[in-house]
Amino acid sequence: MQDVTIYIINGVLLLGACLLCVSFFPIQRLVGQLPEGALRKRWNDLRALILFFIMGYVCFTFLYWMEYDNAFNLVVPAVFFLGAVLILFVGTLALQTAIEIKQMAALQYENVTDHLIGIHNRRYLDRRTEEEISRARRYDMQLSMLLLDIDHFKIVNDNYGHQIGDRVLMSLGQLLFREVRDTDIVARYGGEEIAVLAPHTSVSSAIELAERLRRSVEKSIMVPANEYEKRQAISITVSIGVAGLDKEVVDHQSLIHRADNALYGAKQQGRNRVVDFDSVKESS
């Protein structure tokens, strides 16, 4: 009977040691997926503690191997074994949770991102515009929208093809991201039209922003020259309509509609210019 007990205790110790070693790998994978920072440091600390626990477990097994004489001595090995099971469970669960969160984040990114340009899509623009309008009214803040359209974009597509046209759109989207504030929202409205939603921004400040963007686009090369394809560098200009939130704006659609009317005014006046909705309203 005593021999059976010894074998059971040693078997539990060995199994626990194996579980501890196995539990180290999911935590290792989890740490590898985390970005540099405080969270990764904490998981590294936990990994060091697990290593320490494994070393202690191995030392305990070595020192007390074949030293048990009754069933009561199963208590300590059983506690060690349950600790190993707990660490394996926590490590595996943490890794699985991290993987699923990453997948959810990727899915959410796909749902709100225009895959061609790499900026937000129309769905995200509508939702955020509605949210920002509610926030602006609640806290009596200013809110403006810019709507940009590439001038004569059809000529670019006709002369160079749609692939080059897509590259122009991507370059424009990247330029806008660099030029606007972190709090501004850049989204594709449709076709070659791109919207910039600017919270905490008056119409006059939005006009200054739009003029800065217009000049930056005008000076930039959207697609560099290619001697092999015998293609010159491609530059573009944009027309921009600006509208601000006031009492007559009832929802996000009316704010976008105002910006669109201002954009139409900019095109009517010769393109490559900035026009605000109030000036269009006064002239009509």
User: Of the candidates 52, 66, 58, 68, which has an alpha carbon nearest to the alpha carbon of residue 17?
Assistant: 58
Question: What is the DSSP-derived secondary structure letter of residue 188?
Answer: E
The confidence score (pLDDT) of residue 105 equals 67
Residue type at 12 in one-letter notation: V
Least Cα distance to 280 among 81, 143, 147, 110 occurs for 147
- Dihedrals φ, ψ of 53, to 5°? -65, -40
Q: What is the pLDDT of residue 116?
A: 86
**Looking at the annotation, which residues are catalytic?**
192
Question: Among 184, 181, 204, which residue's Cα sits nearest to residue 195?
Answer: 184
Q: Which residues contact 85 (CB under 8 A, 6 or more apart)?
A: 16, 19
pTM recorded for the entire structure: 0.68
| pLDDT, mean over the chain | 85
Give every residue of the chain whose pLDDT is below 50, as ranges: 1
* CA gap 284, 111 in Å, rounded: 39
According to DSSP, the residues that pair with 188 across neighbouring strands are 194
How confident is the model at residue 98, as a pLDDT?
Answer: 77
Q: Which amino acid is at 157?
A: N
Task: Give the chain's end-to-end CA distance (angstroms, integer).
Answer: 103
